[in-house]
Amino acid sequence: MLRSLVRGDIHPSDLQTEEELEEELPEDYFETVCKATEEGDLGVFSITAPDGAEYLYFKPLMSHSYARILAVKDNAEALVCDQIRENSRIYPRPVPSQMFLEAPFDFDVPTLECLLQSIRRKEENKDIKFTQTSSGTIFLYSDKYLDDDLAEFLAEEQEMRPLNP
């Protein structure tokens, strides 16, 4: 539409007001468009947050991993647990706790310590485990995807060769 305006193919007086557009559109227009894009391979994907909220993102402009981060950004505990589980499942690797002090997480040390203690106490997070390397670095992993011995080995290896984001 903007290109047509610039080229002079249409005149601003030909454009409809927002109210006129709303009168022409069916009430479920947004839902219909979303459903059509999800059914086609148009690069629009859906992600469901732990609270059940559904978000859409455009894959050419955003990675699935970053969309997952944004979907739980207001729930710090879910954000940390999701990242730990995702790294354990996909890569597979434990993550250094310091990762959560950097962008895009940006927790401060006291907040992260409280958060990790809270995660440790909850039954639904019983798969989240901690391991400490010989130099004292704490790594986190999910035992749903990594067994304890492998996680300990990978943590030691990662400390020698830093994590590739």
Question: In the numeric block, which tokens belong to residue 10?
Answer: 């249409």
Radius of gyration of the chain (CA): 23
Residue 148: exposed, middle, or buried by beta-carbon count in 10 A (0-12, 13-18, 19+)? exposed
Higher pLDDT, 28 or 89: 89
Q: Rounded to two decimals, what is the model's pTM? A: 0.68
For residue range 10-61, what is the model confidence (pLDDT) as tens digits? Answer: 665 666 676 766 666 677 777 777 777 677 767 788 888 878 889 988 887 8
Q: Report how far residue 14's alpha carbon sits from residue 32's, in angstroms, rounded to the nearest whole number.
A: 26
Q: Does CATH place domain 75-160 in 1.10.10?
A: yes
Percent of the chain as helix, strand, coil, to the nearest 5: 50, 15, 35
Higher pLDDT, 163 or 133: 133
Q: Which residue, chain included where needed, has tokens 């790294």? A: 87
Locate the domains of the chain by residue range. 2-68, 75-160
Residue 86, number of CB atoms within 10 A of its CB: 17
Q: What is the pLDDT of residue 12?
A: 59
Measured in degrees and rounded to the nearest 5, phi and psi for residue 139 equal -115, 150
Positive or negative, the CA dihedral 24, 30, 35, 36 is positive
Q: What is the pLDDT of residue 155?
A: 95
- Which residue stretches of the chain are H helix? 2-7, 18-24, 29-39, 64-71, 76-90, 109-121, 148-160
